[in-house]
Structure 1
Amino acid sequence: MLELDLHTVPPETGGFDPVAVLTGRGRPLLLHDAVAAIHRAAEDDRVAGLIARVQFPLAEPGPVQELREAIAAFTAVKPSLAWSETYPGTLSYYLASAFGEVWMQPSGTVGLVGFATSPLFLREAFDKLGIEAQFVTRGEYKSVVNKFTEDRYTDAHREADSRLIESLRSQVWEAIAASRELDVTALDALADKAPLLRDDAVAGGLVDRIGFRDEAYARIAELVGAPGISPETGDADSEQAPPRLYLSRYARATAPRSGSPLSASPLPPIPGRKGRPTIAVVTVHGMIVSGRGGPQLLPVGGPSAGGDTIAAALREAAADDSVAAVVLRVNSPGGSVNASETIWREVNRVRRRGKPVVASMGAVAASGGYYIAMAADTIVANPGTITGSIGVVTGKLVTRELKERLGVTSDAVRTNRNADAWSTNQPFTEEQQALVEAEADLCYGDFVARVAEARGMTVDAVDKIARGRVWTGADAAERGLVDELGGLRTAITRAKVLAGIEPDEDVRLVGYPGSSVLDMLRPKPSSQPTAASLPEAAAALLGRTVTGALGQLEQSMTGVTALWLGNHRF
């Protein structure tokens, strides 16, 4: 019996977590590990059923949909049960509805309240503080800096957000209605009364039973036909009831021998040795920045995807003859124009080497996240993925007045008129403003033109659905920005087909870039891809001393180090 505790949705990536190492927690269960393990369990005769506590308050729709799809596939062939003290939000219950039975404690509620947005606007506060927001945007829907420049929704911002949450509601309502055999209209009426207390939740068909944890465990044991269950206590005969195993333990125990499918990339196979076809999965997680980027190591902030790091990973995958195709897994809201363009270039170069590239969009792949995905042969997104936002924003916050109020003064000397253009001490001059506008025009024009070329559309057609507007994956697919709806599993299958591999054929999945301690700390000798230098290393092993060969192999372990943060953002 598999157990799954979902106080949070499994994360996209783990990276190196020194706190986890010190506390002995080990590597967390990642989203792709959980999804793959649930699909394996559905076909594993040793697994009798699945029970999960589903009690997360907040989550992003895309990852929840990937997890839900796997649970629904399991439920189609084996008993499953979701239980919770309470279902604190819409997506929490949405995921629970994919299980065969849904249970809740007596004091709980079903928080199927729908979707809402409530952005924060700081313009009046900035006026009082003496901060001037000076930004240039291309696309009236590009709302990322509205928090600084507006005091309420603009018409375009409201239109985009309204459509976004309406699309999400439609997806979630239809899925719940199908799983629970309810009418969508009736479900919407229930949502208007939510959060629902136990009697209304049961009467409305959202919850099967009101009960406690021990009763839920007794029920799942009953569903799988385990003998020795006591109706009074819910206890099972330990000798006859199926043993329980957390999904994280099952995932590690049943993972492919080559390791976790998307773990840090190992050394490439020895030349001449045949094996399973390899699909490289290059993960872009977090804000896109110039340089190396890196995982989140502090309690504040978040991970970043370095343009140099991702570009090097793509070069290495392209140079490895054992790699048949590349899946670019994107979970990024965008970032640096320059770094995004660097990654976009390498995606194109991979394709020119004859290797298909499939973009897989996770929770969000917008702005720069869409920029790097658009060059792929195929784009796959979850229905609830946040994508699009084809636009440009750049600018600065001028804090001169605030500093003066605080008694802080500043002065400047410069060699040329625009040397201090990006200083926060004064606004742009007319000349500087014109330069910023021209650069924004150039970036937006390139963005739209490249989307048009990649998607086989006219520039005018792209501009109508661009202008900084965000879409769900489902809406993006209707407008030609996405090819297929699904998660990472769907993208890998598509990559197999494009590479001439049978969809059901077993492949070796290798993750890039590496995230081990060694990958993070060891300096790299050059930017030459490991795979490209492997034949020379192999020749050295055959024709030179062992010491010389090891030195050559060590020299082939490569990377790129640089750091530069630009001012312009997608």
Structure 2
Amino acid sequence: MKQFFKFMFASAFGFIIAGGLLVLIFFISIAGLVSSLEDGIKSEKKVSVKENTVLHLKLNQPIVDRAEENPFAKLDVGPFKNAGQIGLNELLESIEKAKEDDRVKGIYLDLKSYPGGMASMVELRNALKDFKESGKWIMAYSSNYSQGGYYLASVANSVYLYPEGELSWKGLNAEITFFKNTLDKLGVEPQIIRGKNNKFKSAVEPFMKSEMSEANRLQTKKYLTSIWGKMLGDISTERGLSIDQLNLLADSLMITSADDALKHKVIDGTRYYDEFTAELRDSLSIEKDDDLEFISYNKYKKTSLKKKDDDDKPSYKIKNKVAVIYAQGSIETGKSDGTQTMGSETIANAIREARKDSNVKAIVLRVNSPGGSALASDIMWRETELAKEEKPFIVSMGDLAASGGYYISAYGDRIFAQPTTITGSIGVFGIIPNAKKFFNDKLGITFDGVKTNAHSDLMTISKPLDDFEYSKIQDGVEDVYSTFLSRVAKGRGMTVEEVDKIGQGRVWTGADAKEIGLVDELGGLEDAINYAAAQAELEEGDYKVREYPKQEDPFEKFLRDMQFQAKYMYADMILGSDYNYLMELEKARNMDGIQTRMPYVMRIK
């Protein structure tokens, strides 16, 4: 009886604590939302740019194509840490604006690592290079540089490192976790169905193998080498170091300290922060006791720049528009959920709305997706087909436009990608776990039941597929792959056989994709917008860019996110950085139907 009361009181106490925490989260969140709104109102009224200003770009939050309005961005506790995002679109606009702003003299690039994908990094680096070539300067300073951080910093006029800091330089690697042996021990059989020719569709390999297949090893080596080559080429140009030198430094691990980085001319100097700020004062020609005028990206993006030409047409009189539709996240049926999930209903509606708007003269689909549901991909594809029949329809690929992401891109009149964009992965798969042995032998759980027809229990995890069921699902996968091939063939002006040769689930970089005909031009979103405008015979100043889909009301998002934040609060506090793996498992659990999905999640450090 004592044990009963002990557990009863413990449970009750746990319930009270959990409830209290949820209430606390609610009020903290409300306070954060109110504070955020107040700051927004104040910033609109008070933000101004003083003469001799330095734009401070501190890239310490995830960079996505278009950031969503987030009421948790001001909070910095528990699962709300780093809840904010940086929109690449606004970041590029701010750099372009700063280039034309006489009040801004230079940029202080403040970063340790780059919190985004490789293609967006190249796009941002190109914008910074353009800023520098305008005659203004960029200084990069950090206590540590990751390889991605250094690649971005290398565009600066001067690259400085804290005297006791570190710079990582060792080359790129790809490591995949395999679960086959674990599943064998648990008695779980992953019943895998993929296209018969999809030897490169390696998303299923972690469940069926204990090491990489030769096909997967080949494609991974190919695109890693392509990305590394792009990084080396750009750094070599800016730093005056040969590619052979840079490879030798990586192979020999010759950079283990700030002094090593300076010795091998990877950086321009070591500085303490006070010495770095003194350098900034010299660049601004101000006295050592004068205050530096910094303006953060978050504030600067809210400022406006007066046009030098007084005859410019007021924006409200410009009716012509180029629509930019942001299709980012894992592909699922239904509605989009922020930047993580691309819902077929949301994107299809956005394309349809842009197509039917007579003021929209051209459409740019900005794709940043590893793929997902084949059905959802096809729903969106149909709208791209209809849009292309009526207006110039251009595709701009971000970090990822793979599998389902390529599916919805294939009908573009012209496809733009960065050299480091990950694309292709034209293939199909499905996984149905058979956990009968796990339940029977490990847990002692058995199943029994009744059914009205021979295969009413199809897709249950408590029994294996029989040969007939397997063949039926295989036929379905082959049909989807055949449809995928035909969509790409028609969109790209190729034969099905030609697409199959470069398909089979294989992943390509944007540079390689251009060579084989999957991509038309290497360039960023701005290049795609300019091309779309030209195709619609619009001149600069005669059109505005309108972004789709319409962003969710922040108050509605706040209420929806409350449930999400409470659900994963403890997981985030316990797992820390490994929290990302939990999120990937959550995505896998929500997969529905046959998948056209990227083989794995990529994070380049």
Instruction: Give the aligned partner of residue 218 of structure 1.
Output: 278
Distance in 2, matches of 1:430 and 1:367, equals: 28
Distance in 2, matches of 1:16 and 1:251, equals: 14
Does residue 400 (structure 1) correspond to residue 436 (structure 2)? The answer is: yes
Q: Is the 8 A contact 1:10 1:34 kept in 2?
A: no
Secondary structure of 2:178's partner? coil
Secondary structure of 1:133's partner? strand
Provide closer, same or farther for how the CA distance between residues 203 and 507 of structure 1 changes in structure 2, counting only shifts above 3 A: farther
Give the counterpart of 1:197 among 235, 240, 257: 257
Instruction: Give the aligned partner of residue 168 of structure 1.
Output: 227
Provide closer, same or farther for how the CA distance between residues 69 and 412 of structure 1 changes in structure 2, counting only shifts above 3 A: farther
Does residue 292 (structure 1) correspond to residue 330 (structure 2)? The answer is: no
Distance in 1, matches of 2:252 and 2:131, equals: 31
Instruction: Give the aligned partner of residue 488 of structure 1.
Output: 525
Deviation string 1:396-426 (CA, Å, 9 cap, x unpaired) is 1111111121122222322222322111111
Instruction: Give the aligned partner of residue 98 of structure 1.
Output: 155
C-alpha displacement of 1:176 = 0.2
C-alpha displacement of 1:433 = 0.8
Give the counterpart of 1:6 among 59, 68, 78: 59
Instruction: Give the aligned partner of residue 398 of structure 2.
Output: 362
Does residue 475 (structure 1) correspond to residue 512 (structure 2)? The answer is: yes
Provide closer, same or farther for how the CA distance between residues 433 and 256 of structure 1 changes in structure 2, counting only shifts above 3 A: farther
TM-score w.r.t. the length of structure 2 is 0.78
Q: Flag structure 1 segments of 5+ consecutive residues without an equivalent.
A: 230-235, 258-269, 297-302, 523-563
Provide closer, same or farther for how the CA distance between residues 9 and 71 of structure 1 changes in structure 2, counting only shifts above 3 A: farther
Does residue 183 (structure 1) correspond to residue 242 (structure 2)? The answer is: yes
Distance in 2, matches of 1:256 and 1:456, equals: 46
C-alpha displacement of 1:518 = 7.2
Secondary structure of 2:375's partner? helix
Give the counterpart of 2:473 among 424, 433, 436: 436
Letter of the aligned partner of 1:70 in structure 2?
A: A
Distance in 2, matches of 1:391 and 1:519, equals: 40
Letter of the aligned partner of 2:67 in structure 1?
A: G
Distance in 2, matches of 1:163 and 1:64, equals: 20
Q: Is the 8 A contact 1:421 1:432 kept in 2?
A: yes
- The percent of aligned pairs where both chains have the same amino acid is 34
Q: Is 126-135 or 284-293 further displaced after alignment?
A: 284-293
Provide closer, same or farther for how the CA distance between residues 463 and 476 of structure 1 changes in structure 2, counting only shifts above 3 A: same
Q: Is the 8 A contact 1:9 1:63 kept in 2?
A: no
Deviation string 1:222-265 (CA, Å, 9 cap, x unpaired) is 223x2213xxxxxx413xx5x211122111213899xxxxxxxx
Secondary structure of 1:373's partner? coil
C-alpha displacement of 1:460 = 1.8
C-alpha displacement of 1:217 = 2.2
Does residue 79 (structure 1) correspond to residue 137 (structure 2)? The answer is: yes
Q: Is the 8 A contact 1:338 1:566 kept in 2?
A: no
Secondary structure of 2:266's partner? coil
Letter of the aligned partner of 2:119 in structure 1?
A: G
Distance in 2, matches of 1:248 and 1:380, equals: 28
Q: Flag structure 2 segments of 5+ consecutive residues without an equivalent.
A: 1-53, 308-314, 559-589, 597-605
Q: Is the 8 A contact 1:399 1:424 kept in 2?
A: yes
Q: In the TM superposition, what are the counterparts of 1:35-434 in structure 2 within 5 Å?
A: 35-56=92-113, 59-77=116-134, 78-87=136-145, 89-138=146-195, 139-194=198-253, 195-224=255-284, 226-229=285-288, 236-238=289-291, 243-254=293-304, 274-295=317-338, 303-353=340-390, 355-404=391-440, 405-434=442-471
C-alpha displacement of 1:216 = 1.6
C-alpha displacement of 1:365 = 0.7
Secondary structure of 1:482's partner? coil
Q: Is 167-176 or 22-31 further displaced after alignment?
A: 22-31
* Length, aligned pairs only: 496
Secondary structure of 1:493's partner? helix
C-alpha displacement of 1:28 = 4.3
Q: Is the 8 A contact 1:290 1:565 kept in 2?
A: no
Q: Is the 8 A contact 2:68 2:85 kept in 1?
A: no
Q: Is the 8 A contact 2:58 2:109 kept in 1?
A: yes
Provide closer, same or farther for how the CA distance between residues 144 and 519 of structure 1 changes in structure 2, counting only shifts above 3 A: farther
Secondary structure of 2:470's partner? helix
Q: Which has the higher helix share?
A: 2
Distance in 2, matches of 1:22 and 1:178, equals: 41
Q: Is the 8 A contact 2:372 2:591 kept in 1?
A: no
Distance in 2, matches of 1:59 and 1:285, equals: 13
Q: Is 73-82 or 115-124 further displaced after alignment?
A: 73-82
